[in-house]
Amino acid sequence: MERKKLLIADDSEMNRAILANMLAQDFEIVEATNGLEVIKALQTYQNDFSALLLDIVMPEMDGFQVLAEMNRRGWIDSVPVIMISAETANSCIDQAFDLGASDFISRPFATGVVRRRIINTLLLHAKKQQLLDTVTNRYLHEEKSNEAVIAILDYSLELRCGEGGTHMTGVGHLTRLLLRALLKKTGRYELDPNDLEAIGMAAGLHDIGKVQIPEAILKKPGKLTAEEFEIVKKHTTLGAQLIEQLPGFQNEKVVKYAIEICRRHHERWNGEGYPDGLIGDECPIAAQAAAVADAYDALVSRRSYKDAFSHERALQMIHNGECGSFNPLLLECLDEISETIVRENAAKSAGQNPNAKRRIVEDLYRERDLTAARMTQQLEEAVSRQNFFTGMSEEMWFEYTVQPSSLQLSRGITEQTGLPEVLVDPMQSADFLAIIGEETSAAIRAEIKKLNTDESYAEVTVNLLLDGHLRRCRLAMYVAWSVAERGRCSSLFGKITNVDENYKRMAEYSALMQDGSDDTALLPGIGADRILHITKEQVSGVLQSYGRIYDSVRLVDPDICTQVFTEVTSHADFTGKHCYAVWEKTQRCRSCISQAAVNTHHPQSKIEMVGNDLFCVLALCVEIEGIYYALECVNRIQAGDMQSDDGGSLLNQLLMRNRQVYTDSLTKAFNRRYYDDRLRRLTGEYALAMIDIDNLKQINDCYGHQTGDAVLYQATQTIRANLRSTDELIRYGGDEFLVLFHDLPREILQRKLENLCNVVHCLRSDNYPELRISISIGGVYGTGTIEELAAKADRAMYRAKSLKNTAAVYTEEAHEAE
Amino acid sequence: MKLNEFYAAAGGDFQDAHDRLRSDALIERILRMLPRDNSCELLFTALREGDAATAFRAVHTLKGTALNLSLSSLAAACNTLTELLRGKDAIPAEAEPLALAVRREYERAIDALKLLDE
Of A719, A698, A531, which is closest to residue A628 (Cα–Cα)? A531
Residue A116 contacts B, CB cutoff 8 Å: no
Residue A95 contacts B, CB cutoff 8 Å: no
Cite the DSSP H helix spans in A550-695: 593-600, 650-661, 672-674
In chain A, the percentage of residues whose pLDDT exceeds 70 is: 82
Contact A117, A167 (CB under 8 A): no
Mean predicted confidence (pLDDT) in A406-415? 77
**Among partner residues A18, A107, A110, which is closest to B19 by beta-carbon distance?**
A110
Residue A18 contacts B, CB cutoff 8 Å: yes
Phi, psi at residue A512, to the nearest 5°? -60, -35
From chain B, pick out residues whose CB is under 8 angstroms from the CB of A15.
61, 64-65, 68
Q: How many CB pairs under 8 A join A and B?
A: 64
- For chain A, state the CA radius of gyration: 36
A111, B22: Cβ pair inside 8 Å? yes
Nearest CA in chain A to B82: A87
Q: Is the pLDDT of residue A797 over 90?
A: yes
Binned at pLDDT 50, 70 and 90, residue B9 comes out as confident
A111, B21: Cβ pair inside 8 Å? yes
Residue with more model confidence, A353 or A726: A726
Q: Is the pLDDT of residue A293 over 90?
A: yes
Mean predicted confidence (pLDDT) in A568-581? 57
Residue B7 contacts A, CB cutoff 8 Å: no
Q: What pLDDT does A190 receive? A: 84
Write out the E strands in A68-142.
Answer: 81-85, 103-106
Q: Which amino acid is at A164?
A: G
User: Which residues face A613 on adjacent strands?
Assistant: A610
User: Which residues face A687 on adjacent strands?
Assistant: A741, A781
SS3 letters across A255-279 = HHHHHHHHHHCCCCCCCCCCCCCCC
> Judging by beta carbons within 10 Å of its beta carbon (0-12, 13-18, 19+), is residue A437 exposed, middle or buried?
middle
Of A286, A327, A263, A330, which is closest to residue A191 (Cα–Cα)? A286
Binned at pLDDT 50, 70 and 90, residue A155 comes out as low
Binned at pLDDT 50, 70 and 90, residue A111 comes out as confident
Q: Is the pLDDT of residue A351 over 60?
A: no
Mean predicted confidence (pLDDT) in A687-715? 89
Q: What pLDDT does A1 receive? A: 42
Kind and range of the H or E element at A756? helix A749-761
From chain A, pick out residues whose CB is under 8 angstroms from the CB of B64.
10, 12, 15, 55, 57, 85-86, 107
DSSP one-letter string for B63-102: HHHHHHTT-HHHHHHHHHHHHHHTT-SS--TTHHHHHHHH
B65, A109: Cβ pair inside 8 Å? no
Q: What pLDDT does A731 receive? A: 93
User: Which residues face A615 on adjacent strands?
Assistant: A608, A636
Q: What is chain A's mean pLDDT, rounded? A: 80
Residue A21 contacts B, CB cutoff 8 Å: yes
Contact A795, A772 (CB under 8 A): no
Residue with more model confidence, A658 or A582: A582
From chain A, pick out residues whose CB is under 8 angstroms from the CB of B34.
14
Residue B73 contacts A, CB cutoff 8 Å: no
Q: What's the ipTM?
A: 0.80
Q: Is the pLDDT of residue A443 over 70?
A: yes
DSSP state of A392: S
From chain A, pick out residues whose CB is under 8 angstroms from the CB of B69.
14
How many CB atoms are located within 10 Å of the residue A234 CB? Answer: 16
Residue B22 contacts A, CB cutoff 8 Å: yes
| Digit-coded pLDDT (tens) for B72-115 | 999 999 999 998 888 888 888 888 889 899 999 999 888 888 87
Mean predicted confidence (pLDDT) in A627-647? 75
From chain A, pick out residues whose CB is under 8 angstroms from the CB of B37.
12-14
Q: What pLDDT does A636 receive? A: 84
DSSP state of A780: E
Q: A455-470 burial string, b = 16+ CB within 10 Å, else e?
A: ebebebbbebbbeeee
Is the dihedral angle over the CA atoms A87, A89, A95, A96 positive or is it negative? positive
| Digit-coded pLDDT (tens) for A28-42 | 888 888 888 888 888
As a whole number of angstroms, the longest Cα–Cα distance in chain A is: 110
B37, A14: Cβ pair inside 8 Å? yes
A15, B22: Cβ pair inside 8 Å? no
| Digit-coded pLDDT (tens) for A463-515 | 888 888 888 888 888 887 776 666 777 788 788 888 888 888 888 888 877 76
SS3 letters across A414-479 = HHHHCCCCEEECHHHCHHHHHHHHHHHHHHHHHHHHCCCCCCCEEEEEEEEEECCEEEEEEEEEEE
Range with the poorest average pLDDT among A267-271, A389-393, B102-106: A389-393
d(CA A230, CA A210): 13
Phi, psi at residue B111, to the nearest 5°? -60, -40
Binned at pLDDT 50, 70 and 90, residue B25 comes out as confident
Task: Tell me the Ramachandran region of residue A587: left when phi exceeds 0, alpha when psi lies from -120 to 50, beta otherwise.
Answer: beta
Q: Is the pLDDT of residue A604 over 60?
A: yes
From chain A, pick out residues whose CB is under 8 angstroms from the CB of B61.
11-12, 15, 57
| 3-state SS class at A49 | strand
Q: Is the pLDDT of residue A54 over 70?
A: yes
d(CA A107, CA A85): 6
Contact A539, A512 (CB under 8 A): yes
- For chain B, state the CA radius of gyration: 14
Residue A17 contacts B, CB cutoff 8 Å: yes
Q: Is the pLDDT of residue B18 over 50?
A: yes
d(CA A373, CA A380): 10
Q: What pLDDT does B86 receive? A: 87
Q: Crossing angle, helix A338-349 and helix A311-319, to 10 degrees?
A: 150
As a whole number of angstroms, the longest Cα–Cα distance in chain B is: 45
Q: What pLDDT does A262 receive? A: 92
Contact B104, B7 (CB under 8 A): no
B64, A86: Cβ pair inside 8 Å? yes
Mutate to test the interface with B, among A11, A16, A18, A64 (most CBs of B within 10 A): A18
Binned at pLDDT 50, 70 and 90, residue A292 comes out as very high
**Among partner residues A57, A110, A112, which is closest to B60 by beta-carbon distance?**
A57
Of A498, A573, A561, A511, which is closest to residue A539 (Cα–Cα)? A511
Q: Is the pLDDT of residue A264 over 90?
A: yes
Residue A55 contacts B, CB cutoff 8 Å: yes
A86, B30: Cβ pair inside 8 Å? no
Q: What pLDDT does A430 receive? A: 83
Strand A81-85 and strand A49-54: pairing? parallel
Tell me if the pTM is above 0.80.
no
In chain A, the percentage of residues whose pLDDT exceeds 90 is: 16
d(CA A472, CA A499): 6
Q: How far is CA A4 from the centre of its chain?
A: 26
Q: What pLDDT does A651 receive? A: 62
A57, B34: Cβ pair inside 8 Å? no
Phi, psi at residue A404, to the nearest 5°? -75, 150
Q: Is the pLDDT of residue A192 over 90?
A: no
d(CA A278, CA A109): 67
Distance from CA of B41 to the nearest CA of A (A): 14
Residue B14 contacts A, CB cutoff 8 Å: no
Q: Which amino acid is at B117?
A: D
d(CA A210, CA A175): 20
Contact A689, A760 (CB under 8 A): no
Phi, psi at residue B70, to the nearest 5°? 60, 35
Contact A233, A275 (CB under 8 A): yes
Q: Is the pLDDT of residue A252 over 50?
A: yes
